[in-house]
Structure 1
Amino acid sequence: MKQSAHFSFGEESEIKDLGGGLKRQMLGFNEELMAVKIWFDKGAEGYVHAHRHSQVSYVVEGEFHVNVGGVIKVLTAGDSFFIPPFVEHGAVCPTGGILIDTFSPPREDFLEVAE
C-alpha cells in the first residue's frame, strides 16, 4: 500500500461528492492509519454499517445523532466517538456539520475510489 504525501493542503486536495449530502476529503494515510474529513449537509445520514476497522470520529461542527451498537447519543463540536471493529454504527446530522474520521487499518475501499 502506498502512503499519502507528508503535507496536505485543503484547497488543493480533492473533495469527493459521495451523494446523499455527504462529501469526503482524504487527509492522510499509510498502511496503519487513515484520516478523512466528512461534510454532512443538513439532514444527511451516514447509514448504519459495520467494517473491520477501528474508528475514532471527532465532531468539528454541527450536531450529530450517532448510533454505535444500537446506542444513540447527540454529539456536538468538540465531542468524539469510538467504534470497535465490526460494530454497527451510523449518524444523522440534522444541522449540517463536519466530522474528522480516523481508521486503523486504513479503509481500502476509500483508497480504491481515490485512485
Structure 2
Amino acid sequence: MQKQSAHFLFADQTDIEDLGGGLKRQMLGYNHELMAVKVWFDNGAEGYTHKHRHSQVTYVEQGEFHFRIGDETKVLKAGDSCLIPPNVEHGAVCPTGGILIDTFSPAREDFIEAQDDAN
C-alpha cells in the first residue's frame, strides 16, 4: 500500500474509479493523516448508510444532497458542508446529480487498497 500520494496531482492524469450505482471517485491527495476525495453522484444515486473510524468533513461542490448523520437529515446544496464524527452512521441521496469533496482523518486505507488493486 502506498503511504502518500504524489505532491501534485492533475485531474486529467488521476484515475477516476467507477464505484457502481451511479458513483465515481477520484483521489485528490493523501498521507497517513489526511485524505481528500472527489465523488460524483448521478441523478438519484445513493451513498449507502455506513460508519467508519475516521473523522470526515464533506463539502458540496455541486448539486443537492439529502444527508443523514445519526438520526438527523438535512438538505445540503452547493457551498454547504458537514462534519461526520467517527463511528456515526451516515449516508446521502443525491436527487439532482452532484459532486462532493470528502476529507478524512486519518486517511481511508480501504480507498488506497482499492486503488492499488485496480492498478
Q: CA deviation at 1:57?
A: 0.3
SS at structure 2 position matched to 1:111: helix
Q: TM-score if structure 2 supplies the norm length?
A: 0.95
SS at structure 2 position matched to 1:114: helix
The equivalent of 1:34 in structure 2 is: 35
Q: CA deviation at 1:70?
A: 1.5
**Aligned residue-pair number:** 115
Structure 1 alignment gaps of length 5 or more: none
Give the whole-Å Cα distance in 2 for the aligned partners of 1:44 and 1:84.
23
- Structure with the bigger percentage of helix: 2
Q: CA deviation at 1:9?
A: 0.4
Whether 2:54 is the aligned partner of 1:47: answer no
**Identical columns (%):** 72
Q: TM-score if structure 1 supplies the norm length?
A: 0.99
Post-superposition, which runs of at least 4 consecutive aligned residues in structure 1 deviate over 2 A? none
2:33 partner amino acid: E
Q: CA deviation at 1:2?
A: 1.4
Q: CA deviation at 1:48?
A: 0.6
Q: CA deviation at 1:56?
A: 0.2
Q: How does 1:1-115 map to 2 (within 5 A)?
A: 2-115=3-116
- Give the alignment's Cα RMSD to 1 decimal: 0.6
1:81 partner amino acid: C
